[in-house]
Chains A and B, each alone.
Chain A
Amino acid sequence: MQHYSGFGLLKHSFSHHENWQRVWRNPTPKKKYDVIIVGGGGHGLATAYYLAKEFGVTNVAVIEKGFLGGGNTARNTTIVRSNYLWDEAAHLYEHAMKLWEGLSQDLNYNVMFSQRGCLNLGHTLQDMRDIQRRVNANRLNGIDGEVLDAQQVQEIVPVLDCSDRARYPVLGASWQPRAGVARHDAVAWGFARGADSHGVDLIQQTEVEDLIIEDGTVVGVRTARYGEIRADRVGCVVAGNSSVLAKMAGFELPLESHPLQALVSEPIKPILDTVVMSNQVHGYASQSDKGDLVIGAGIDGYNGYGQRGSYSTIEHTIQAIVEMFPVFSRVRMNRQWGGIVDTCPDACPIISETPVKNLFFNCGWGTGGFKATPGSGHVFAASLAKGEMHPLAKPFSMFRFHNGALVDEHGAAGVAH
């Protein structure tokens, strides 16, 4: 793999940047792999990368029905934070946060991780009590966080309406300075490039149509394009389509797939240098390095696999944004799109063994899995390499819905992202 550096940039400028190496190969799959990862989103690619790099399992294929990062990974609003309430979740997301902090260096690829901080606003007394509780819990877990009052919030975000004229006045916020955003496409591409350089085969435009199961053990996958591809272990990381894959394996998951949408505005001058989220009015916004406002909406109330969202949800979101930032009321929106998120009854992911031997699932991240990308990949890779769940993944077993040990993060962590 070609190493990216300032010197390389200079060198290539002499040949008009026409001789850069391809970022990853486009191989024909082998007949058999040690591990097959189904789904080439950020989580699947990160899993492949850490499998090869940290755990020495290099005979790996990632099989993706579309193109790398074409799922939720590059459709999200890019918010990265780790201020979750419960220990299990906090440890998992903080594990990811620590990996984010060195990711661009590790991958030799700029994922544009920017620790611009994240505010979760409180608009009611109960919000403020919850915020206090969560920040205390975070600090006990060694995660940075502060409780701010309305005036401190106003100092950080001058364009936010913190007056008492608002319908839901801002009373304060939780503030995680280490939180921020990352360039979502770059995350997928960086992990893909890293995995490829360690010998992982990235197979695009290939849909897994069935899982091959013999005597209760998975032995490979069936694809329309290349027929059967065998493997000792299979990890499914297919976000919104997890129920469909589980059905192929003959079991059910407690998931429901919903469209979740986002919008971006026309680029404007720098105006918002942090992430602002509100659970109460339900809207969240940040400004990308390019200048557009990145705005997230809520999920549609009904199940759906169409990658668009309903109009009424956009209207609610825009109402919330204009309520918080009256100054944005004239900004034009450029684009809107949706992704399909698989939501879990306890708003926590499933990283788990399954009733089928050697078949593992990593799913159910719902509306908030982007922030976990490196951590999810890392713990899932460890689990696939050893055939036994990583300690941080253990509480997220799919069997928790049978034994009652839920990790209920609903509302406990600010907005659902």
Chain B
Amino acid sequence: MFHIYCPYCCEYREEEEFHAAGQSHIARPLDPDACTDKEWGEFMYFRANPRGIHHELWVHAAGCRQYFNITRDTQTYEIKEVYKVGEQPTVVANNAK
């Protein structure tokens, strides 16, 4: 069971209150009309799936209902940091592209 710190409520709450919403920092193509099928497919369907450090979007669904980011290790499940939408992570994988 995770205890997750909500950066908006400024409190630790149980995992049950939250919902994971997938990879964070996915930029929508600026000019969708100019995308190739490959670029569009990649935006739609391809997500990072690292064995290790992962940046993901969570929502405090049963709390303040705000979205925020978590950096988490997908192997040890350790939550490295929590940061607001619009902010950048400070913990990144060594081999990150």
Binding site for B on A (CB under 8 A): 241, 243-244, 252-257, 301-306, 310-312, 342, 345, 401-404
Contact = CB atoms under 8 A, between A and B. Distances in A.
A182 to B, nearest CB: 29
Contacts of A253: 46, 49
A204 B91 CA distance: 36
B45 A345 contact: yes
B51 interface: yes
B37 A306 contact: no
B41 A404 contact: yes
Enumerate the 3 nearest inter-chain pairs by beta-carbon distance, A residue then B residue, closest first: A302-B20, A243-B49, A254-B45
Given A301-B19, A302-B20, A404 B49 contact: no
20 contacts: A243-B49, A243-B50, A256-B49, A257-B49, A257-B51, A301-B19, A302-B56, A302-B72, A303-B54, A303-B74, A304-B77, A305-B51, A305-B74, A306-B74, A306-B76, A310-B2, A401-B41, A402-B41, A402-B42, A403-B41
A244 B42 CA distance: 18
Nearest to A306: B77
B81 interface: no
Nearest to A311: B1
Interface residues of B, number: 25
Given A254-B46, A310-B1, A401-B42, 7 more contacts: A243-B51, A254-B47, A256-B22, A302-B56, A310-B2, A311-B1, A403-B37
A214 to B, nearest CB: 23
A275 B54 CA distance: 37
Contacts of A310: 1-2, 15
If over half of B's interface residues share one DSSP class (helix, strand or loop), that class is named, otherwise mixed; here it is mixed
Contacts of B76: 306
A408 to B, nearest CB: 12
Interface in B19-67: 19-20, 22, 37-38, 41-42, 44-47, 49-51, 54, 56
A305 B19 contact: no
A401 B47 contact: no
B1 A244 contact: no
A254 B38 CA distance: 12
Contact of B15 (A252, A256, A312, A342): A312
A403 B42 CA distance: 11
B94 interface: no
Contact of A301 (B20, B38, B72, B74): B20
A303 B56 contact: yes
A244 B51 contact: yes
Contacts of A252: 46
A303 B2 CA distance: 14
B80 to A, nearest CB: 14
Contacts of A402: 37-38, 41-42
B64 to A, nearest CB: 19
Given A254-B45, A302-B56, A404 B37 contact: yes
A243 B46 CA distance: 11
Contacts of B77: 304, 306
Contacts of B15: 310, 312
A256 B15 CA distance: 20
Contacts of B41: 401-404
Contacts of B1: 310-312
B74 to A, nearest CB: 5
B52 to A, nearest CB: 9
A254 B46 CA distance: 4
